[in-house]
A and B are shown apart, each in its own frame.
Chain A
Amino acid sequence: MGPKKETKEASASAKKKDAPAATTTATASAKKTTKTAGNTTTATKVVTKERKEKVKSTALKAKQRVVRGNQLTRKRKIHTKPTFRRPFTLRLQRQPKYPRRSVPKRNRLDHFAIIKYPLTTESAMKKIEDNNTLVFIVNIRANKPLIKQAVKKMYDVDAEKVNTLIRPDGEKKAYVRLKADHDALDVANRIGII
């Protein structure tokens, strides 16, 4: 019993000697040394600072494991249906490192390109006077909403509706009926079709 205690005390004191060197608090260790000096004769255990920390860390780990759940013994999911469908997984957005094209393609069908020229035939003139419509030859790839926008942008007029047809010679003709508050004759004069 005696020699055991002595060795324990020796190891404890050795530990104590290391602890102050490692830690910054000198006063706490000094306290500990005085405590141990008093307890050399009794059989009480010597608790160093290091041992306290070790105990604390193991306790913390145990707590974490309880909270997290041990990975080795996981609960199995109960499947109530015979089919297995792929679960929703994380789908990230693209974060390209470089744009594939340095410059984005320019819009070849802008309003300058849509309206080619107005028609000035006799029937077109009749349309201007009687039906408040303008007649344009238009890019064949333009559709009615685009034609409406282009007319608004170029000539500052609102269209009530647009009718289109493709001529036998391959050009698209657009009948653009203007809203009641615009006068087709005035607009035609402004554009240059008389």
Chain B
Amino acid sequence: MTRIKCSQLRGKKPDEVQKQLSDLRQELNTLRVGKVTGSGGAQKLGKIRNVRKSIARVLIVRNQTTKDNLRKLYHGKKYKPKDLRKRKTRAIRRLFTPKENSVQLRKVQRRQWAFPQRIYAVKA
């Protein structure tokens, strides 16, 4: 069996990918039956590993593309699903945003405007 490559899979449509997945899983089942009944021999037994890894590749590609499309869908929206938000750490997610941090009392704002830090230069 030719080795399935991820780059090939990414080009395919989702129905094709789904079909490929079910084909592979069917094949895996028949191989497992063969293993139990003792038919085939070393070649067939070795094939089991290839099929398992191919299934993994198909699933990787499928899940990556769906996640990617969802990220595009929710891009710029205010409310995103929690697994599409940035993860960082729990504490960091609860910190103030830079804007919230920069909020000042009106008294302080006025004071800064009225009495800014002056810079002087000494005449040589």
Contact = CB atoms under 8 A, between A and B. Distances in A.
Interface stretch (B3-11, B26-34, B101-109): B26-34
A194 B33 CA distance: 11
A7 to B, nearest CB: 54
A103 B69 CA distance: 11
B12 interface: no
B83 A101 contact: yes
Contact of B70 (A102, A115, A116, A119): A102
Interface string A156-194: 000000000000000000000000000000000001111
A20 interface: no
Main secondary structure of the interface of B (DSSP, over half): helix
Interface residues of A, number: 19
B36 interface: yes
B81 interface: yes
Given A103-B66, A112-B25, A192-B30, A98 B79 contact: yes
Contacts of A75: none
Given A112-B25, A192-B39, A99 B33 contact: no
Contact of B36 (A112, A119, A154): A119
A167 to B, nearest CB: 15
B112 interface: no
Contact of A112 (B29, B33, B77, B83): B29
A102 B82 CA distance: 7
B35 A102 contact: no
Interface string B48-89: 000000000000000100110010001001011111100000
Interface of B: 22, 25-26, 28-30, 32-39, 63, 66-67, 70, 74, 77, 79-84
Interface of A: 97-103, 112, 115-120, 154, 191-194
